[in-house]
Amino acid sequence: MKVVEIFKSLQGEGLHIGAPTVFVRFAGCNLRCEWCDTKYAWEGGEEKSSNEIFAEVLAHNTRHVCITGGEPLAQKGPVSLINRFLANKNQVTIETNGTFSLEELPCDPRLTVSMDVKCPSSKMDGKTKVENIEILGPTDQLKFIIADQMDYNYAKNILRENKVSCEIIMTPVGGTDLKWLAEAVIRDNLDARVMPQLHKLIWGDERGR
């Protein structure tokens, strides 16, 4: 498996925000989002075995593990690695862009699938496999990164047209301009959580945070 970096920080997004977490960032992505903040993970990476990754993560002695990218499901190996962490009783999150089937992922209460739906500002809208939304359950999250009103309306349409059984997260592009989005969600009575990207509030765009 090709890995760009393994590092310890705080979970900056979603249901486990603020939790000390070890991140395994896989190389390679099949999308090219306009506002992507990890373009350095699109290519490259160092080949590492499952044993090497597992040992490096465990050395940090942290319960939470986040499998991210790039797009981790573009590679072979992350699913078996997730099963290994679950067997070790870790709390695992996998961050995915939703363009690969989620059917092979284990059904385990300690696994959180964090799936993005790409909105128009990313210039990758329409790429998500919407059938994945029905696979998501109560421990998972459906995430929208929103730049403007067009993105917000797009997200509302996705929610209206699909049965969603997981938590819904809305975060502004850049992670900090929350007010207009919060007011829109309150006004429209959406059952969604408006959240910042905590790591950006603390460290900005510093890599490895």
Inside any domain, residue 209: no
Nearest-CA neighbor of 116 among 127, 105, 107? Answer: 127
Question: Tens digit of pLDDT for each residue in 27-48?
Answer: 999 999 999 999 999 999 999 9
Q: Using one digit for the tens of pLDDT, what is the confidence trace for 98-109? A: 999 999 999 999
Residue 208 lies in a domain: no
DSSP conformational letter for 59: T
CA distance 208 to 116: 21
200 φ, ψ to 5°? -75, -35
Question: Whole-angstrom distance between the N-terminal and C-terminal Cα of the chain?
Answer: 22
Torsion of CA 51, 57, 62, 63, to 10 degrees: -50
User: What pLDDT is stored for residue 18 in this prediction?
Assistant: 97
Biggest distance spanned by C-alpha atoms of the chain:
49
Phi and psi torsions of 67, nearest 5° = -95, 120
Entry pTM = 0.95
Q: What is the mean pLDDT of residues 69-75?
A: 95
pLDDT of 59 strictly over 90: yes
Average pLDDT over residues 169-186: 92
Domain interval for residue 146: 2-203
The residue with tokens 């044993």 is 51
Region 49-68: mean pLDDT is: 97
Q: Is 84 part of a structural domain of the chain?
A: yes
**What total number of domains does the chain contain?**
1
What CATH number has the domain bearing residue 161?
3.20.20.70
Mean pLDDT taken over the chain: 95
